[in-house]
Structure 1
Amino acid sequence: MAYRPSKRMKKTLFGGGAVVVLAGLNAPAALSFATDQYHAYKISQPGYMRKYGAWHDAEIPKEYRTNAIHAALLHTGKVLIIAGSGNKQDHFDAGTFDTVLWNPKDNTFKKIHTPEDFFCGGHAQLPDGKLLVAGGTARYEVLDGQVKRAGGGMRVKNEDPNKTVTLKKGTKFRSPAGVEYVSKFDVTVPRAKREFEVSYYASGQMKPWKTKTTAAEARVFVEAVAEGPRSVATDRAQYEVEGLTGKDADNVYGLAEKITLDKQDYQGIRAAYEFDPKAEKYVPVTPMKEARWYPTLTTLKDGRVLAVSGLDDVGVILAGNNEIYDPKTKKWSPGPFRYFPTYPSLFLTKGGKLFYSGANSGYGPANKGREPGLWDVEKNTFTKIGGLNAADQLETASSLLLPPAQDQRFMLLGGGGIGESKKATPRTAVVDLNQDNPVFKSGPELPQGTRYLNSVLMPDDSVFTTGGSSDYRGRGGSNIFRAQFYDPKANAFREAADPTIGRNYHSEALLLPDGRVATFGSDSLFSDKNNTKLGKFEQRMEIYTPPYLYRDKNKRPALGDGPESVAAGGRATYRTDHPERVVKARLMRPSAVTHTTDVEQRSIELGLTKDKGAVTVTVPEDRALVPPGWYMVFVTDQEGTPSEAKWLRVD
């Protein structure tokens, strides 16, 4: 039966002289007003919310509003919202970098000192509950036609085996023809390597010692001092370093790479920090060897973190130079060499291999590194996985490990064409890695072609999806004001309440410990359908309350006291007044999300036993299924209503 407003509501909508007069003068405006009022009334009704859920704005004081580029849930229950320079060139130029810590329990906020521009870096949860943040922005892009001074990479050589050389930002390099270039960053070149050679005469006597010196090298981005084409350089001549004299001038010099007036892409940084949730501050650790902008950080089964892809310190996509962070030593070591486009979605699987869904955020050639597959990081072999339709539309797609994680079923949702393509697909697909020869199988379609879709694992084993746009960065007013749940068992979508705020590029969504979903950000290219007005970054936050939280609160499962840590394969017991209500238990890893990429979230089925006044959960032993770290423990009843989460560290 169609919904009918009450007589009182009809009077509110259509009664009164003011509305009648308005209708006479401007019928479309009156109808729009009445429709909006009716919709607002409809979605606020208890019956509607029990079926579809509801959205509410979070009040953010003006001084804490920021451009949410990254969001991560910490084991304190607070959410770290990282903007860095927030895609604002003026903020970057001023060195104004932003991080806000939000407490969902009381809706309070705190500014965090941000030492680097983490804009478009990567992040991963560490075993001790800290958040690794690595990479970010060293320089903003300069578009075609706007490059006035030639720029490119300068390889700085050091032939002195006795000392390391540091050249400060602003150091000048001079070509044999007298053309000058200035470095845009500090650069440190290690000492040269000295090797001793020993050989013998035929008689067995030792020949005199010989030494061989191999120059050390580092790279820095340089820009011509003078404007115009005269500064373009393609030769490999030796460039002298201004200010050096004597042996230093002989030992330290530059070799230019390609220096052009072409478009200059964003450039990455090497910086790495751990954010400490208890001290609520960034703590520096050893920088990466490679600079990275748009990297993915993926947790491995032993708690180490693999950093993959990104644009380097001169704005070129890395050829495959990956590296691994060890949280015990706070240092990086070389990882397996393999190429991926930027922000590749790489997930840890039960066997310890990494599954690449094919989803990415764009930079890189169209014909390289875009096919999904399974990557054995120990052997460095890659097995492609086929069966995917709309395979040319994987940029800005969403992907995740479906619950429970033991099933090893991965889902891909939506996506678009490469770069600023207008293509967008409603395609979803699922691959089961437990099969001998896994291939993608098409799933139910989204309501329309969707880029930048946010997808969140829920405690009841559903997947909540929201937002996105049907064109590049919401172009043409293409934001999608829709949300839905995917049911993995039924392989079908069901409707959810519609969000009121559009979300596309630079937006995030994550599960909160109380079972709600918070959404942040959005960076539309334009603010109107005709693409005539530049867009503004969306700083409002909207929170979705699922239908399960509108059921009888008195019957909601609740967990009491329990342990704070457990070993893999161990048990944790929680007090509860009504163990009979509990039918399932899930261990859920907190999100760390950016650019539609969240490779952290996973929902693991726990063993469950019930006693009088308590429930006991058992954590699986497989480290590749449950990498060390902090998790949320949810229990649910027969209807799928979850408890509030308890935090548990798996050692």
Structure 2
Amino acid sequence: MGVLAVVVILGANTPPAWSYVSDYMHDQLINSDDYKSRYGKWDVIELPPDVRVNAIHAALLPTGRILIIAGSGNDTEQFAAGTFKSLVYDPATGRTRLISTPTDIFCAGHAFLPDGKLLVAGGTLRYEVLEPQVTRAAGLMVVKNESPNGGPRVFPKGTEFVSPAGKKFTATSEFTVQPATKVIVKGGAKVTASTTSIWVESTVEGPSGVTPLRANYKITGLIGQDRENIYGLNEKMTLDKQDFQGRREAFEFNPYTEQYERVGDMAEQRWYPTLTGLPDGRVIAVSGLDGAGQVVPGINEIYDPKTKAWTERKDLQQYFPTYPAIFQTAKPGVLFYSGSNSGYGPATKGRDPAFWDLRTNKLTLVPGIRDADMLETSGSVWVGPVQDQKLMVVGGGGVGDSPKSTARIDIVDLDAETPRFTPGPDLPEAARYPILVTLPDDTTLISNGSKGYRGRGASDNNNARIYHPDTNTLSYAADPNVGRDYHSAGVLLPDGRVLTVGSNPLFADKLDTITAPFEQRLEVFTPAYLYQGGVRPAIMAGPDKLSWGKTGEFTTSDPSQLATARLLRPGASTHVTDVEQRSVALEMTPTATGVKLTVPKQRALVPPGPYMLFLTDKRGVPSVAHWVFVG
């Protein structure tokens, strides 16, 4: 009777019993030494509730800590309350610190400067409002100033514009009006009015504020000549859907004081911009949505860290979709646009991979990319040492809320006589938003993403692969535990591990009926190279500053076993876009106590700023990084 009872109980509980056994066996497998030494291991980290943030951006600081930027965190309630967050997380100790965040830098752009500070520019001025929720007519107001006298005029949020018919609109943000320009010509002077575009909305709700016709608007409060010289010209004021709008503020985040330092504003408002560092330490800002929610129409500008100011470059007019993946090539003055981007912009404009020569402002298209209509939400990264000038485009999907996605990996050799994309190995599944992280052994970790737009249909890809540039192949890596899609990021840590953060899916179920929360757990991947046993290479001493074409001497453990030396630029990732990552091969000469390392002479290969120096032994095991500044 007892045996029969046990059999009946087991029969009734076979599914949960088998599930328990299966989970136990899987856990034993992935934690075994043999498995970890072949495929690595993922570990989930849950921060205390009071310091959890919606990770939109992640950057490795030269202190070894991670700056995680949420801003308003894609949360309209946080935005309305003016609650903007940044978190500094120390992966070595687990310590956290919430940082005072001055404006909503949600969806800004960022790039490292020569002194190790992180330039952060743009962000969110206004959230998207869908047509059914639009209650006040709104649109673009072009403010003109016909007087060359005086300096810039700052007008506050709420400044009122009144039409000849008495219709009233107010500015939704503070704006600055420059004086007109005055040029002396034969017989007198030529004055050209300045123009500033701002977003305004009606003072009344409903269709009475709709204004299809253009008119000259007076600005309330101006007197004398100002009343005639400074005025507004409206575009159509409608109750149509209103897109996100960008900010023009810029900051340098100081990694040593862990504070944002205000610098000069950009000439253009930008939401979803890309910032790319140049060989001389300056930074170019490209694309983004402007103050009217439209893609910045090819107006690009350059930041100079010496003056803390931006210069609009009217000679560099080029249009790109938002968050374009634009990289500094080995040639000074020549950038490369891989075609990867993160949305916003027409499907037929600015989508083709191309070289961009800043000296001539000429684009040279590069053919061969497969699934050319699915470059949105794809990832791009240098593969192997940057001296090889090979770049990889991974995954992606159709424009906008498209059901299409691709498993494509294509490689382009920018040094080829006629550069052209060629096929690499395909991913195991189609993937939007793949996380790409360059590793110190010249391989690339490819993880996560989703088949569907923002993970629709519970389509997160909980898998990972290692790309090997020497063989153009993928190898299996342990599966991540946490799904990550839209608003996720990954960065290499100084100890050779990888940190992944974020994920902002629309829904939490296959039927897309349950709203999903923002993923606030962190996860760390320990690659297989850290489970090889034996003694890990170590850098005991050496300079913390190096210069182009110069040699530095480093004391190391067992120099006879060292195989490679690499400088890795710290990552600064958001929206599948990280143009900071690059690995630089150093010439290495063994000494009795260590190695001598020589930095390449070409500044375009090694833009000035912070780098992690990794020494890797003949087994492929890297040292803990030694921070150096090149410049």
**CA deviation vs aligned residue, 1:560-581 (integer Å, no higher than 9, x gap):** 1100101111111111231111
**CA deviation vs aligned residue, 1:316-335 (integer Å, no higher than 9, x gap):** 10110000011111111123
Structure 2 residue matching 1:560: 3-state secondary structure? strand
Q: Distance between the aligned counterparts of 1:212 and 1:544, measured in 2?
A: 63
Q: Are positions 1:102 and 2:89 aligned together?
A: yes
Q: Are positions 1:238 and 2:222 aligned together?
A: no
Matches within 5 A, 1:436-455: 436-455=417-436
Matches within 5 A, 1:366-515: 366-515=347-496
**CA deviation vs aligned residue, 1:54-95 (integer Å, no higher than 9, x gap):** 111224122211000001111111111001001000111111
User: Cα distance, 1:25 vs. partner?
Assistant: 2.6
Q: Distance between the aligned counterparts of 2:135 and 2:82, measured in 1?
A: 23
For 1:315, give the aligned amino acid.
G
Structure 1 residue matching 2:373: 3-state secondary structure? coil
Q: Distance between the aligned counterparts of 2:256 and 2:342, measured in 1?
A: 32
Aligned equivalent of 1:324:
302
Q: 1:213 to 1:356 in 2, by over 3 A?
A: closer
User: Cα distance, 1:213 vs. partner?
Assistant: 4.0
The answer to whether the 8 A contact 1:132-1:272 is kept is yes
For 2:432, give the aligned amino acid.
R
Structure 2 gaps of 5+ residues are none
User: Cα distance, 1:555 vs. partner?
Assistant: 2.1
Q: Are positions 1:268 and 2:246 aligned together?
A: yes
User: Cα distance, 1:26 vs. partner?
Assistant: 3.8
Q: Are positions 1:601 and 2:588 aligned together?
A: no
Aligned equivalent of 1:185:
173
The answer to whether the 8 A contact 1:23-1:31 is kept is no
Q: Distance between the aligned counterparts of 2:484 and 2:617, measured in 1?
A: 32
Aligned equivalent of 1:628:
608
User: Cα distance, 1:18 vs. partner?
Assistant: 12
Structure 1 residue matching 2:43: 3-state secondary structure? strand
User: Cα distance, 1:194 vs. partner?
Assistant: 4.1
Q: 1:168 to 1:482 in 2, by over 3 A?
A: same
Aligned equivalent of 1:176:
164
The answer to whether the 8 A contact 2:559-2:593 is kept is yes
User: Cα distance, 1:155 vs. partner?
Assistant: 1.2
The answer to whether the 8 A contact 1:356-1:372 is kept is yes
Q: Distance between the aligned counterparts of 1:449 and 1:256, measured in 2?
A: 45
For 2:411, give the aligned amino acid.
V
User: Cα distance, 1:30 vs. partner?
Assistant: 2.6
**CA deviation vs aligned residue, 1:9-54 (integer Å, no higher than 9, x gap):** xxxxxxx999977643343233223222221121111111111111
Higher mean C-alpha deviation, range 119-128 or range 169-178: 169-178
The answer to whether the 8 A contact 1:374-1:384 is kept is yes
Q: Distance between the aligned counterparts of 2:191 and 2:426, measured in 1?
A: 62
Q: Are positions 1:338 and 2:326 aligned together?
A: no
Q: Distance between the aligned counterparts of 1:387 and 1:105, measured in 2?
A: 43
**CA deviation vs aligned residue, 1:126-158 (integer Å, no higher than 9, x gap):** 111110000000000011322221111111222
Of residues 587, 590, 597, the one that matches 1:610 is 590
Structure 2 residue matching 1:583: 3-state secondary structure? strand
Higher mean C-alpha deviation, range 188-197 or range 135-144: 188-197
**CA deviation vs aligned residue, 1:508-535 (integer Å, no higher than 9, x gap):** 0110000000000000000111101111
Aligned equivalent of 1:223:
201
Higher mean C-alpha deviation, range 459-468 or range 250-259: 250-259
**CA deviation vs aligned residue, 1:91-123 (integer Å, no higher than 9, x gap):** 111111000011111111111110111100000
The answer to whether the 8 A contact 1:175-1:238 is kept is yes
Q: Distance between the aligned counterparts of 1:18 and 1:277, measured in 2?
A: 66
The answer to whether the 8 A contact 2:284-2:301 is kept is yes
Aligned equivalent of 1:577:
557
User: Cα distance, 1:464 vs. partner?
Assistant: 0.5
Higher mean C-alpha deviation, range 473-482 or range 19-28: 19-28
The answer to whether the 8 A contact 2:570-2:612 is kept is yes
User: Cα distance, 1:179 vs. partner?
Assistant: 1.5
The answer to whether the 8 A contact 2:440-2:566 is kept is yes
Q: 1:498 to 1:20 in 2, by over 3 A?
A: farther
Of residues 556, 560, 570, the one that matches 2:540 is 560
User: Cα distance, 1:174 vs. partner?
Assistant: 1.5
Q: 1:213 to 1:372 in 2, by over 3 A?
A: closer
Structure 2 residue matching 1:392: 3-state secondary structure? helix
Q: 1:525 to 1:17 in 2, by over 3 A?
A: farther
Structure 1 gaps of 5+ residues are 1-15, 200-209
Q: Distance between the aligned counterparts of 1:161 and 1:456, measured in 2?
A: 51
Count of residue correspondences: 625
The answer to whether the 8 A contact 2:140-2:198 is kept is yes
Aligned equivalent of 1:6:
none
Q: Are positions 1:517 and 2:498 aligned together?
A: yes
Q: Distance between the aligned counterparts of 2:69 and 2:311, measured in 1?
A: 26
Aligned equivalent of 2:522:
541
Q: 1:570 to 1:26 in 2, by over 3 A?
A: same
TM-score (ref. length: structure 1): 0.94
The answer to whether the 8 A contact 1:466-1:484 is kept is yes
Aligned equivalent of 1:72:
59
TM-score (ref. length: structure 2): 0.97
User: Cα distance, 1:235 vs. partner?
Assistant: 2.2
Q: Distance between the aligned counterparts of 1:241 and 1:20, measured in 2?
A: 86
The answer to whether the 8 A contact 1:22-1:30 is kept is no
User: Cα distance, 1:241 vs. partner?
Assistant: 1.7
Q: Distance between the aligned counterparts of 1:504 and 1:22, measured in 2?
A: 42
Q: 1:463 to 1:138 in 2, by over 3 A?
A: same
Matches within 5 A, 1:166-315: 166-196=154-184, 198-199=186-187, 210=188, 212-315=190-293
Structure 2 residue matching 1:421: 3-state secondary structure? coil
Structure 1 residue matching 2:372: 3-state secondary structure? coil
Aligned equivalent of 1:637:
617
Q: 1:93 to 1:18 in 2, by over 3 A?
A: farther
Q: 1:574 to 1:196 in 2, by over 3 A?
A: closer
The answer to whether the 8 A contact 2:44-2:481 is kept is no
Q: Distance between the aligned counterparts of 2:392 and 2:225, measured in 1?
A: 60
For 1:611, give the aligned amino acid.
T
For 1:616, give the aligned amino acid.
K
Structure 2 residue matching 1:259: 3-state secondary structure? coil
Structure 2 residue matching 1:91: 3-state secondary structure? helix
Aligned equivalent of 1:146:
133
User: Cα distance, 1:198 vs. partner?
Assistant: 4.9
Q: 1:565 to 1:18 in 2, by over 3 A?
A: farther
